Amino acid sequence: MAIQPLRRHKIRGLYAITPDSENTGELLGKTQQALAGGGRGIQYRNKSVDNGLRKEQAGLLLQLCRKHEIPLIINDDIDLALEIDADGVHVGRDDSTVSDARKFLQQDKIVGASCYNNLDLAIEAEKQGADYVAFGAFFPSVTKPEATPVSISLINHARQILTIPVVGIGGIQLNNAAMVIHNGCDAIAVCSDLFQAGNIRVRAAQYAQLFAGNL
C-alpha cells in the first residue's frame, strides 16, 4: 500500500535542515536519528550534488518522513517537489515566489519563505499564501556565513502582525535556541549543530524538550 501524503501540516518545533552529502545511506541514517529524537519537519537542502542524486535522495527521504508522519520540504526546487510529491517547498528571495509555488503546488502542500531580516517580505509572503516564514540569521551561521544578522526583537514584532508560524534560523545551537523560542518562534531550523552532533538522536531530543508544553 502506498504511503499517503500528509495534509497541510503546520511547521512547529525542531525543523531539521539536511546537510550537503553525497553519501545517501549516511544522510538517511542521520535523518532517521533526527526524526527519532523528535524532529517535527525535515527540509532537504543539498547544493553539492547533481539533479539525479538529488532526486534519489529526496525520494528516499520522503519515504522515511512519511513513515514518521513528518513533512518533507524541498529547498528551492518546485519541480523536484512536484516530481516526488513532497509535502512542500521552501523559497528564498532569489528563488521562485511564494505565489509561483502556490500556483504549481496543490493547496494542501506547505510553502515556506525565507524573509531574512525583512518583516515586509514576511507580510507579503503571508499575503501570497505562505504557510510559514523564516527569519535569520540570529547568530553566526556555519552553513551560511554571509547571512544578514537579525535582531531577536524582530520575532516579537512579527508575531504581532503575522498569523502564520515563525521559524528562527541561522547559527542556532543548543546553548542559544531557548532565547529564540522564548521570544516567539514556533520552530527553529537547525543544520550543523544537529547533524554534526556525536549523537543526533539525543541532540534532537534536547531541542525537542525546549518546546515542551508549547506544541
Binding region: 43-47, 75-76, 95, 114, 141-144, 171
Q: Rounded to whole angstroms, how far apart are CA atoms 76 and 89?
A: 7
What ranges in the chain are assigned the alpha helix state H? 24-37, 51-68, 78-84, 98-104, 119-128, 153-161, 177-182, 192-195, 200-210
- Environment class of residue 176 by beta-carbon count within 10 Å: exposed (0-12), middle (13-18) or buried (19+)? middle
Q: Rounded to whole angstroms, how far apart are CA atoms 69 and 72?
A: 9
CB distance 166 to 186 below 8 Å: yes
Of 65, 61, 64, 29, nearest to 45 (Cα)? 61
* Beta partners for residue 189, in sequence order: 15, 169
Query: How many residues belong to the chain?
Result: 215
Q: Rounded to whole angstroms, how far apart are CA atoms 92 and 86?
A: 18
Binding-site residues from annotation for Mg(2+): 76, 95
What single-letter amino acid sits at 126? E
